Amino acid sequence: MQFDVITLFPTFFETALQVGLIGKAVEAGLLRFRVHDLRQFGIGPHRQVDDVAYGGGAGMVLRPEPLVAAIEQARTETRSRVVVLSPQGRLWTQGLARQYARECDQIVLVCGRYEGIDERVTAYWADDEVSIGDYVLMGGEVAAWVVIESVARLVPGVVGNPESLAVESFEAGILDYPQYTRPAVFRGYAVPAVLRSGHHEAIERWRRLQALRKTLRNRPDLILAPRWTSPPAWWAWMAEWIEWVETILEKMYPSPRSEEAENAPDHRPD
């Protein structure tokens, strides 16, 4: 997988590309990176890359000429995708990361600055426009790195244990379960007994229920959103969650049938 980043601040990526699993994957040849300094494509002796906005308004807008020149130089693969990082883009998700990792050999990331980039670049030279959340940053560099990490770790060989990818947050449509390590008791707070029991079936059930509880508390939108393309594991977890909710509700608000059964006379023989 090849990543090309077009930015006004190329040094932003220097250290990040040398550490952790990304750095090891680069050394192993699994990932390739090229960072393009947008200033090198600037106009005139001062290498101008921005200008005032048509129609007025505060701030400067990145001009199309240097951006398109950088995109055309960077894009070298047939299965490539040019992505503009922008608060106006569609939300970046784990599903999109999987799609990019599966369908692309090259991703060209265009980092905006100031008031944004000329819309013609997004409309006619980009394949996608994505946002990493409902907030505004000073530029697209942080967002570009989010895309890089989330896609790169799905490239075969980058993560040492591929099985770990299948049980992470969002892979089954919900958040991950809580994790614990030694010591068993820390300042009076103990690791849940079930995790120390050695009972694998009970541990798996506990993890599923905790994952669903955490999702319901922190990201209920993940549960409520329709997921017709979700993996089978998601539907299995949802079924178990529904069963758990029904059990709790039954204890809090017994159904008439349950109360009748509880109050019914005992007809068993003496």
% of the chain with per-residue pLDDT over 70: 80
pTM (two decimals): 0.79
Give the number of domains in the chain.
Answer: 2
Residues 80 and 211 reside in one and the same domain: no
The domain spanning residue 40 has which CATH number?
3.40.1280.10
Kindly state whether residue 205 falls inside one of the protein's structural domains.
Answer: yes
The strand pairing partners of 37, in sequence order, are 7
Three-state SS annotation for 7-35: ECCHHHHCCHHHCHHHHHHHHCCCCEEEE
Residue range(s) defining the domain that contains residue 82: 2-152
pLDDT tens per residue across span 8-36: 999 999 999 999 999 999 999 999 999 99
pLDDT averaged over every residue in the chain: 86
Kindly state whether residue 269 falls inside one of the protein's structural domains.
Answer: no
Residues 24 and 131 reside in one and the same domain: yes
Residues 63 and 138 reside in one and the same domain: yes
pLDDT of 169 over the 60 cut: no
Kindly state whether residue 29 falls inside one of the protein's structural domains.
Answer: yes
Quote the pLDDT of residue 264.
47
